[in-house]
Amino acid sequence: MPPSKENQINPEKWVDRYSDFLFNYTITRVNNRDIAKDLISETFLAGLKSMKNFKGEATERTWLVSILKRKIIDYYRKINSNKGKAEVKINYNNEGDDGDWLEEQVADHDDVTAEDTLMNDELKSTIFNCLSSLPEQQAKVFKMKTIDNYDTEVICNDLNISPSNLWVIIHRARKKMADCMEDKWL
């Protein structure tokens, strides 16, 4: 089934529409402007290469963020693992040519291995373990903003806090989460 009209890909507008959002998303996770820019460029390139796999089940932005998340994970795996020093190629086309990175097949949800499932379960468990170690308000704000993707206005209204207070809480929570994840996951 082709993507619905509102969920079609338009790569000519990606930079204008999504670069600021993707940069803000990335910089909070890698804390390095150059690396963030490189990861976003890699994301756009991977998106272009895998456009045929876009099924329209999510918005274009959500699809790009899912590619970016994998780029960020790969970045941390590479810097924290000897395995990351070797470029691993896969062969997934019929001609026998070297393929490109697995994340370029991002829309293939059926191609999940037991190792992927185990790693995702371990990562999820670690995230929620770290989340439970945060002070109550920080955990609630972090979960609402980062996991549940609530808009800033909704969170501020629900918790009766100002937007600037929200961002201070988010910053502190992300810092504590990053430290915890580095200690317990990486």
Residue 1 pLDDT greater than 70, yes or no: no
Q: What is the pLDDT of residues 40-67, one digit of tens each?
A: 999 999 999 988 888 888 888 989 998 9
* Class (C level, CATH) for 112-186: mainly alpha
Contact 58, 6 (CB under 8 A): no
* Higher-scoring residue by pLDDT: 82, 53: 53
**Percent share of the chain, pLDDT over 90:** 20
Give the pLDDT of residue 82: 52
Structure confidence at residue 113 as a pLDDT band (50, 70, 90): low
State the number of CA atoms in the 13 A half-sphere of 54 facing the CB.
26
Structure confidence at residue 88 as a pLDDT band (50, 70, 90): very low
Contact 91, 99 (CB under 8 A): yes
* ∠ CA 174-14-18, rounded to 5°: 25
Taking alpha carbons only, the member of 99, 79, 97, 96 closest to residue 88 is: 99
Q: Mean of the pLDDT values across residues 6-18?
A: 83
Structure confidence at residue 125 as a pLDDT band (50, 70, 90): confident
Residue 78 pLDDT greater than 70, yes or no: yes
Residue 38 pLDDT greater than 90, yes or no: yes
Q: In whole numbers, what is the pLDDT of the chain averaged over residues?
A: 78
Taking alpha carbons only, the member of 49, 41, 40, 51 closest to residue 7 is: 51
Residue 68 pLDDT greater than 90, yes or no: yes
Long-range pairs for 61-70: beta carbons < 8 A, 24 or more residues apart: 61/17, 61/18, 61/21, 63/9, 63/106, 63/107, 64/14, 64/18, 64/22, 65/22, 65/25, 66/106, 67/43, 67/103, 67/106, 68/22, 68/25, 68/26, 68/39, 68/40, 68/43, 70/103, 70/106
112 φ/ψ angles, rounded to the nearest 5 degrees: -110, 125
Residue 63: exposed, middle, or buried by beta-carbon count in 10 A (0-12, 13-18, 19+)?
buried
Where, residue-wise, is CATH 1.10.10.10 in the chain? 112-186
* Higher-scoring residue by pLDDT: 67, 185: 67
| Relative orientation angle of helices 60-80 and 33-49, to the nearest 10 degrees | 120
